[in-house]
Chains A and B, each alone.
Chain A
Amino acid sequence: MATETLTLGKALNTGLRRALENDPKVVIMGEDVGKLGGVFRITDGLQKDFGDQRVIDTPLAESGIIGTAVGLAIRGFRPVCEIQFDGFVYPAYDQIVSQVAKMHYRSQGKVTIPMVIRIPYGGGIGAVEHHSESPEAYFSHTAGLKVVTCANPQDAYVMIQQAIASDDPIVFLEPKRRYWEKGPVELDAPLSGAYPLHSARVVRPGTAATVLAYGPMVRTCIEAATAAAEDGRELEVVDLRTLSPLDLTAVYESVRRTGRCVVVHEAPGNLGLGSEIAARITEECFYSLESPVLRVTGYDTPYPASRVEEEYLPDLDRVLDAVDRSFGW
């Protein structure tokens, strides 16, 4: 099998290319996705090779990108929309939650909206306001949408193709600060044989405590686990991969094994994914728990100016501190 070392961004690009090749109904649309290849170059070279009817530079209007994609989907296309940055998705929020999410339900199954909404999300790149947000809870709260995120190049390559092939409307969150990180990608891996889209994965086995993370925080948590191992504490790191629906089976299995759990995400803690996960674990695994489920999250502030974002974002020390608290109970 052909295995290449790719950045996460290039893996996405390669996955998109594969999807365009495999299905003539797949179209990519968004601002600057054509000649420029997207501001992060995730669609680099695709318009050149597939033409401007497959890779469509749109007017600058996010609601329009999503709303017209709904119409294309009704027509039988499989649109892949790029929202340029997390903080710019809100003008399209109505179309996503009121239309994309509900069309299938409203039509009693007669209409499907097989579209993917790609959003580079999260902080850590020193960006200005509106360019570092984590809107996953808004979308995870909306029935009818599925929300997934990748954390490494292999998943990026496979998951984007799985998302495009799925008839579910999917919000595909791309951890933008991990775009440039490299890893091995098995290019010939069949999608059906790969890890299913809607499943969590243990990325580092351990026995002392479970650390749940997704997207950009997975790497942070692996680093924390490496540091903890040096102190003789083996942490199990679980990459959730899918945020809606949550793969709770995998979560419960891990927590029952370790008896302790720390949930880590960049988004503010209040009503974030961590709140839901902690509640569910408490309901289902109460007698297996040695201590309360703890959360390490962004603070309940607007995303701060980039000079202080390192303080805002959960890091290795905050994760390890939470693990310590879990053991101090």
Chain B
Amino acid sequence: MCLGVPGRVQRWIDRDPLTGLAEIDFGGVRRTCHMACVPEAIEGDFVLVHAGVALTIVDAEAARRTLEDLERLTAEPSGESTP
């Protein structure tokens, strides 16, 4: 379940805590999404959107660490990963 797609917060449209809206960019296609779950998001953040609702801000730092780990492991195929 739960198709979630990351998109970039392009601009806030409505800051209301319940009806908050922002324009989100998904690789060139934009859609207005509901922001009640991510009121702290700022323009430029990536948010995970499910069924038109942004569910969380994608943690850029955590993503970077994961990818670095993966790159390191891929570069040294014999290396052991740390859990």
Are the chains A and B members of one assembly? no
Chain B residues within CB distance 8 Å of chain A: none
